[in-house]
Structure 1
């Protein structure tokens, strides 16, 4: 028997999502506009047994002097924003400020809340900041890049162990450790986390986490049987001609997201009016986009300017399939380290087939760029996005393709503060004019992989200068930045801009040190 062994760690909670736990009370609160951010109540802590609170609500709600806002304040403790009390020293360097922030953003097992939607974890972990008070899956890889630069191997090990614990507990890594995230995951970066840790601790790390890597793969590749009708899908797996298997984003529920309940209901009503789309279909597409981490972007819209045209589950994303290729290669190596030649060859072949499928379905010769693929329409989507740089990061592009891509990136994405996320401005936060730290890193490292050091260094200098400029101005590290007009703050999305901020801190430190 081998692998990571989680400590005994039981809290006795049933992992019920708040909308299921509170029912009518939850829906009434989310529709009431008491909170500007729907996530606030989803994260609230009941002050006593929820059953008693629910009974009290039904006894009182029809009374003439009843106030829902007062009821909530008397029966729940509301969450605070992370970093709200942190005082940055704007005279210090950005790097020094980040090193101070790690302790502010770190959560310890003994200090975790009880009784709410949080799923407690056995080891310390770093949260993004702001409204994001829990550990997020794909954020954490980029946060770990900075922790490595800060010499915090202890936190990297703890966070990898927490994700292994989540895989062992649920069979996958949820978006974050909240009960309302248990129906979906996020971009599968666990294999990259394990490799990052193994760079510091040796190949034995790959052997240790092999069981969790395999479970992660099984989750994303869950099939409905041996039949192979091309262009059909089951959960996150899509079957294509010639036996090719690729992945999409999905969610196991088709209801409004608890953390954005009112917004989802309102969008579904509009989509039903305009396109006669069933609410369940709208909710599924919204949730799948949330699993992608790109919530939201014109990338997922049939009409790039129309949120109600969202159709995420029809799309094969280029970035997701590059990540799955990395997972297959990591599994192949881990099995070889265990002298399991049969499984090593099995995953080598899976990776080879996926690499071929990536070339077949994602490379657009008319643009000379990697695109997402709409498997329902059997054609590329319209959205040109920075996700197309993932094949550079994972060395899946040919040398010829890389030259085209470098030129395409400079022409379409490069701005004075870094790289745009997409080429159009829609008001969605994962569109122009915003730039995001994780995508800056993917593109930067991808360019360096193909020896485009001049372009990579330009990107690095522009991004670091933008982060430094904002820190000197406000003392804040932000989740996203306006890379087109560096005098303006980023905007768009379902909530106000957040500060902290985990992945910005991580990418900044890694890029700063790589440049010097």
Structure 2
């Protein structure tokens, strides 16, 4: 296992050797299917890119990768090469003169008298982006139809965020926008080969939690199965992406891409990223974190970092071998319980839509796959002694010891038995329930997907999962506390936040590599969904 030594401040000067290493394998293997020429700023700008990121010109490393060159990049690079050696060369001024910076909308309320529901309904228009124009030399992958962005620094569509946003859009009777977003995801599957983390070129080496099937089935709920049938081929392609390489796993413990063989009959999934090295949108920090590691350890470290980013939980004690420090990150060795529940639902959804279309053989195939995965989930992720679901470490052939709200996903998709759900409910009530809702984990590490933070998607999964098994009182209590916290911050700040401190409700949610963001798509969506289900803050 990798353990990091103390981290020093990254030097601004980087050798060409390191640049070549960290730039390797940037292009998606599916890019040849795209008619667009994808722009990769680290490759096109070369030394200029690394100088800017390591100099810390922008507090948020994502800012520069979202900038658009104001001239042909080759001309900008030529100007940089001529000017960089001069004594009075100002790198920051050079960047501001040659790049257009991204903008962030102001989503605060204009009047404290405006009620929260009206505000959230009105925010959909502010968070909606029209179909994208094609801009040369932009990292943005242009989508053909309108879509919702989360808000703040997140200026593009994000895969798993979109499901929780869609739940709110359904409450708001915006089936039109839901259809737009599903069509965009189908387009991405055709263009990139899968649904990436987001519609940026620096995201196309990884995906996010596979929520496309829940999105499609939510759309069918508010419209009809007939309207969802068109997405069946894309659901099958989504499934093929997550299962790619399964037929090459011959022995127990074999792993490749996102699949791992646990036995002759059981193959489950993990998170992965096809690229190596630091992510360009977090280059300086991740370059620094690995600066004391050997080449092999650095390669593994960045693989685990990138896999954690595909999980959406970036970052959390959930992925740390010691449950405390980033240096022990081991994401790619873990089979996440929630991811495998999502793939179970994907299998079930394909079976349902195939059956509705009269494709009986396909229906039977995916029903068997779903049945087998459910058995594996209950066998590999459940701990009888503690009465809780955990991730499974396939390298050490044992369960993780880190308790997280991911344990509620088997309840959300009705995979757990009633007895298991009862025991999970007890743990949630006794250990996770706090003044502002349920806390993500019980580990206080300073990472954003840990104690004391609460996140809207996990509140909803917990509330709905508990309700599925008759624990309505506990579910209502969680919803009430969460909604009260949302409302308190809203009426004090005029904003809905990305995450909240649910332990001390008078402090802001923290941790992570960027400040807490306002907006915020999935928080808005879940508040409206809870409200529509009869939950209140009282």
TM-score normalised by the chain length of structure 1: 0.95
Answer yes or no: is the 8 Å Cα contact 1:318–1:388 preserved in 2: yes
Structure 1 residue 113, shift from structure 2 partner: 5.5
Residue ranges of structure 2 left out of the alignment (5+ in a row): 1-32
1:324 is the counterpart of 2:343: yes
**Which of 234, 247, 258 is 2:256 aligned to?**
234
Residue ranges of structure 1 left out of the alignment (5+ in a row): 1-9
- Say which SS state the counterpart of residue 290 (structure 2) adopts: helix
Q: Which residue of 1 aligns with 2:17?
A: none
Q: Which residue of 2 aligns with 1:336?
A: 355
**Which of 43, 60, 63 is 2:83 aligned to?**
60
1:361 is the counterpart of 2:380: yes
Cα distance in 2 for partners of 1:216, 1:304 equals 32
Answer yes or no: is the 8 Å Cα contact 1:83–1:105 preserved in 2: no
| CA distance 1:11–1:403, shift in 2 (3 Å) | closer
1:302 is the counterpart of 2:321: yes
Structure 1 residue 81, shift from structure 2 partner: 2.1
**Which of 416, 426, 431 is 1:397 aligned to?**
416
**Which of 174, 177, 191 is 1:155 aligned to?**
177
| CA distance 1:408–1:277, shift in 2 (3 Å) | farther
**Which of 515, 528, 532 is 1:509 aligned to?**
528
Answer yes or no: is the 8 Å Cα contact 2:150–2:519 preserved in 1: yes
**Which of 441, 457, 461 is 2:480 aligned to?**
461
Q: Residue by residue, what CA displacement relative to the aligned partner does 1:304-363 show, whole Å, maximum 9, x if unpaired?
A: 111111110000000000000000001111221222211111111110110011011100
Structure 1 residue 168, shift from structure 2 partner: 1.0
Q: Which residue of 2 aligns with 1:484?
A: 503
Q: Which residue of 1 aligns with 2:215?
A: 193
Q: Which residue of 2 aligns with 1:109?
A: 131
Cα distance in 1 for partners of 2:337, 2:452 equals 22
Q: Which residue of 1 aligns with 2:494?
A: 475
1:381 is the counterpart of 2:377: no
Answer yes or no: is the 8 Å Cα contact 1:88–1:97 preserved in 2: no
1:409 is the counterpart of 2:432: no
Cα distance in 2 for partners of 1:155, 1:89 equals 27
Answer yes or no: is the 8 Å Cα contact 1:235–1:250 preserved in 2: yes
- Say which SS state the counterpart of residue 314 (structure 2) adopts: coil
1:284 is the counterpart of 2:309: no
Answer yes or no: is the 8 Å Cα contact 2:130–2:146 preserved in 1: yes
1:266 is the counterpart of 2:288: yes
| CA distance 1:501–1:113, shift in 2 (3 Å) | farther
Cα distance in 2 for partners of 1:157, 1:181 equals 23
Structure 1 residue 16, shift from structure 2 partner: 3.1
Answer yes or no: is the 8 Å Cα contact 2:390–2:403 preserved in 1: yes
Answer yes or no: is the 8 Å Cα contact 2:39–2:138 preserved in 1: no
Answer yes or no: is the 8 Å Cα contact 1:392–1:450 preserved in 2: yes
Q: Which residue of 2 aligns with 1:127?
A: 149
1:436 is the counterpart of 2:448: no
Cα distance in 2 for partners of 1:491, 1:433 equals 8
Size of the alignment, in residue pairs? Answer: 503
Cα distance in 1 for partners of 2:326, 2:141 equals 31
Q: Residue by residue, what CA displacement relative to the aligned partner does 1:248-268 show, whole Å, maximum 9, x if unpaired?
A: 000000111111111111111
User: CA RMSD of the aligned region, Å?
Assistant: 1.6
